[in-house]
A and B are shown apart, each in its own frame.
Chain A
Amino acid sequence: MSRPGFVLEVDERTPPILFHHGENFRLEKLPLGSRVVYGPDPLPGIGDVDAAIEHALLNPLGMEPLPSLLRPGMRLTIAFDDISLPLPQMRTPDIRGRIIEHVLRHAARAGVDDVRLYVANSLHRRMTAAEIKRAVGERVFRSFWPDALQNHDAEDRDNLAYLGKTEHGEDVEINKHAAESDLLVYVNINLVSMDGGHKSVAVGLGSYRSVKPHHNVETMLQSKSYMDPRHSALHRSCDRMGKIVEKTVKIFHIETTLNNRAFGAPFEFLQKREWEWTLKDQAAYFAAKRANDRTPVKTRRAMFHKIAAPYGLTGIAAGDVDEVHTVTLERVHRQQIVEVDGQADVLVAGLPYIGPYNVNSIMNPILAVCEGLGYFFNMYRGKPLVRQGGVMIMFHPVRNEFHSLHHPSYIDFFEQVLSVSTDPETIQAKFEQQFAEDEWYRHLYRTGYAYHGVHPFYMWYWASHAMAHLGDVIYVGGDRSTVARLGFRSATTLADALDMASETAGRSPRITAMRTPPLWLAEVR
């Protein structure tokens, strides 16, 4: 039985609390009476992963076993989650590759020749050959790359199939090869409760036309939160689309859940509660902090992105999308839920070096907004961790730095769009279409490794619920002019930030700090 999550009340005995600060860490003394939320300890991983995979394939939920769905002459497509999951990347062998090997073994036994694999990268950047090889394993890569193992291309009109509209008028368009298959096997990693379910195929293999109906400000403002599918307009839309997809192609959906052991040696101290730090943990922190402080950002970033997490597999389920996802969400919640009483006036969080859209890349200012006001803010069920009109304080350097290969449209978004407005609705109405249909961005997305032209807009929309909810947003340690362009404020120290926050939250605010890693989901009562 692993230890559940915990809400600490800061007293004079409390050691300083560790926060991420981009590619660095910091220890911060919080005011007495503040609360710090810690995630549950990692659940034990499954010992025999191959047996668990095989059991799931042969005992699916709401569907026949995989071998009975396979026959000679059929067209089989296998799609799998892209590099945005898990975070950090998992140690090899990646669970996606292990599952794909099992599926291919069954396909070979059944005499299936026509097999194609797609990275379900949607409007994300294409994965490089090396990244794909890491995800699927050497054997699969060698057998299928590059002809039968490809990135999905959401702008390839010749390989998109329009499947119709939902009852809400949402266009459904997905990868044509997948849509015309006799069986589509989807392999997922459900890191957080936002992932998986009908979102996997409808978004992962979708196009701009079919992503647009739910990746917009209106939907985000009705998703409270998008980490809680029961109260998420995003998920309701994906579910409607998924039903249309299921009418076209049979989907054998495979979902996996991981425990939250994101960091192993020498960064184990990141996962531990501070009052349990041994002298060795303190020394590891000191060494890492000193090394970070003396290392150029680029080198530091490269080192951090090489970290591979020692995750354990906590569950795998296969079969009908809805039935599988119900089981998956239960498993995610078992690992991540922490009960928190009441909302705070001020929410404090440290933003890490990595998010879903900057693996092997740079967390640019727009991604830093998405990470904090999007993902961190939305890690709740029930009510947000911070009250309406409250303040969110985040630690991040927010450098004016972009990866020109991965995020070209982000640069223009920052320069041309945010200089005009930071209001999500205005931005959506005035600029989205222009970026989404820009031929140069389209070219870079299709032939290079660029995120789609519209992607920075989605990152901004992802934060729209938080922007509408909060009274102030402050980045501690953030580059002043860059943060100002984002429409927020920066502070040098936490004390300064709290002083600034007092204008909105009062002189004696209730403060809640989000201590990560490990990742958790608040059940706010």
Chain B
Amino acid sequence: MSGIVKDLRTLQRGFRWGRRPLAPRNVPLPDLAPRDFPTAWARTPAAKAARAAIHEAVMKPLIESQIRPRVHNAHVLSTLAPPVIFYANHSSHLDAPTLLLSLPPSWRDRTAVGAAADYFFDVWWRAAATALVINAFPVERPSR
């Protein structure tokens, strides 16, 4: 391998070109002042309709192409009176969409997802996409 290719490959792999740069885990996050990320628009009727379409046309086929979700004890939902918090054991970024898509549409339409502000709301386009697709709101986590 030529030196140029080798050096470029080292940089491309090491610095995650084309992917989100990540700091090593024990690096303290910078103490940034909390920022406001308006997400109320993502709960308007138009956004809800767009989200439902995205779920049916994109998210559901995508998830089902990767995993075979099985839903157990969904009947308990009928015994609950909102507000309710659903917890995922967060083992991947698919947790939130899988959980959302496993809920009956009447629950799904009224479920918002808490997402890390520093990760999902760092730039406007990612914030907008996250808010639209999973009805997310930002959660600050100033240190790890």
A29: interface (CB < 8 Å): yes
Binary interface encoding of chain B residues 21-35 relative to chain A, with 1 for a CB under 8 A from any of its CBs, else 0: 111111100000000
**Contacting pair B10 A275 (CB below 8 A):** no
B124 to chain A, nearest CB (A): 19
Complex Cα–Cα for A286 and B27 (A): 25
**Contacting pair B22 A282 (CB below 8 A):** no
> With contacts defined as CB atoms under 8 Å apart, how many contacts are there between chain A and chain B in the complex?
43
**Contacting pair A290 B26 (CB below 8 A):** no
Closest to A293 in B: B3
B116 to chain A, nearest CB (A): 15
The interface residues of chain A lying within 8 Å CB-to-CB of B3 are 290, 293
B64: interface (CB < 8 Å): no
Q: A27-B10, A290-B3, A293-B3 are contacts. A8–B27 as well, Cβ < 8 Å?
A: yes
B50: interface (CB < 8 Å): no
A9: interface (CB < 8 Å): yes
**Contacting pair A282 B24 (CB below 8 A):** no
**Contacting pair B8 A8 (CB below 8 A):** no
A11 to chain B, nearest CB (A): 5
Complex Cα–Cα for A277 and B16 (A): 12
**Contacting pair A27 B24 (CB below 8 A):** no
Q: A8-B27, A275-B27, A286-B7 are contacts. A13–B22 as well, Cβ < 8 Å?
A: yes
The interface residues of chain A lying within 8 Å CB-to-CB of B7 are 286, 289-290
Binary interface encoding of chain A residues 11-34 relative to chain B, with 1 for a CB under 8 A from any of its CBs, else 0: 101111000000000010100000
B41: interface (CB < 8 Å): no
Closest to A277 in B: B15
- Among A11, A286, A289, A290, the residue within 8 A (CB) of B24 is A11
A140: interface (CB < 8 Å): no
Q: A286-B7, A289-B7 are contacts. A13–B23 as well, Cβ < 8 Å?
A: yes
The interface residues of chain A lying within 8 Å CB-to-CB of B22 are 13, 275
Binary interface encoding of chain A residues 134-158 relative to chain B, with 1 for a CB under 8 A from any of its CBs, else 0: 0000000000000000000000000
The interface residues of chain B lying within 8 Å CB-to-CB of A13 are 22-25
A410: interface (CB < 8 Å): no
The interface residues of chain A lying within 8 Å CB-to-CB of B26 are 8-9, 11
Complex Cα–Cα for A8 and B25 (A): 9
Complex Cα–Cα for A253 and B24 (A): 45
Complex Cα–Cα for A11 and B11 (A): 17
A282 to chain B, nearest CB (A): 5
B63 to chain A, nearest CB (A): 25
**Contacting pair A282 B11 (CB below 8 A):** yes
A272 to chain B, nearest CB (A): 12
**Contacting pair B10 A16 (CB below 8 A):** yes
**Contacting pair A11 B25 (CB below 8 A):** yes
A6 to chain B, nearest CB (A): 8
Complex Cα–Cα for A10 and B15 (A): 14
Closest to B24 in A: A14
The interface residues of chain B lying within 8 Å CB-to-CB of A29 are 14
- Among A8, A9, A11, A15, the residue within 8 A (CB) of B14 is A15
**Contacting pair B11 A8 (CB below 8 A):** no
**Contacting pair A282 B25 (CB below 8 A):** no
**Contacting pair B23 A290 (CB below 8 A):** no
The interface residues of chain B lying within 8 Å CB-to-CB of A11 are 24-26
B71 to chain A, nearest CB (A): 33
B39 to chain A, nearest CB (A): 28
A28 to chain B, nearest CB (A): 9
Q: Of residues A10, A13, A293, which shows the largest number of chain B Cβ atoms within 10 Å of its Cβ? A: A13
Closest to B23 in A: A275
B1: interface (CB < 8 Å): no
Complex Cα–Cα for A303 and B1 (A): 28
Complex Cα–Cα for A99 and B144 (A): 47
Complex Cα–Cα for A15 and B7 (A): 14
- Among A27, A275, A285, A290, the residue within 8 A (CB) of B21 is A275
B4: interface (CB < 8 Å): yes
The interface residues of chain A lying within 8 Å CB-to-CB of B16 are 15
Complex Cα–Cα for A277 and B10 (A): 14
Closest to A35 in B: B26
The interface residues of chain B lying within 8 Å CB-to-CB of A293 are 3
**Contacting pair B24 A275 (CB below 8 A):** yes
The interface residues of chain B lying within 8 Å CB-to-CB of A286 are 7-8, 11
- Among B4, B8, B15, the residue within 8 A (CB) of A15 is B15
A33 to chain B, nearest CB (A): 11
B33 to chain A, nearest CB (A): 17
Complex Cα–Cα for A13 and B10 (A): 14
Complex Cα–Cα for A453 and B3 (A): 42
The interface residues of chain B lying within 8 Å CB-to-CB of A15 are 14-16
**Contacting pair B23 A27 (CB below 8 A):** no
**Contacting pair B15 A290 (CB below 8 A):** no
- Among B4, B15, B23, B27, the residue within 8 A (CB) of A282 is B15
* Chain B, 103-131, CB within 8 A of any chain A CB: none
Chain B residues with CB under 8 Å of chain A are 3-4, 7-8, 10-11, 14-16, 21-27
Chain A residues with CB under 8 Å of chain B are 6, 8-11, 13-16, 27, 29, 274-275, 277, 282, 285-286, 289-290, 293
Known: A11-B25, A274-B14. 10 other contacts (CB 8 A): A6-B27, A9-B24, A9-B25, A10-B24, A13-B25, A15-B14, A16-B14, A27-B14, A286-B8, A289-B7
List 7 tightest A-B contacts by C-beta distance, closest first: A16-B14, A13-B22, A14-B24, A15-B14, A9-B26, A275-B23, A13-B24
| Interface pairs (21), CB distance under 8 Å | A8-B24, A8-B26, A9-B25, A11-B24, A11-B25, A11-B26, A13-B23, A13-B24, A15-B15, A16-B10, A27-B11, A27-B14, A29-B14, A275-B21, A275-B23, A275-B24, A277-B15, A286-B7, A286-B8, A290-B3, A290-B7
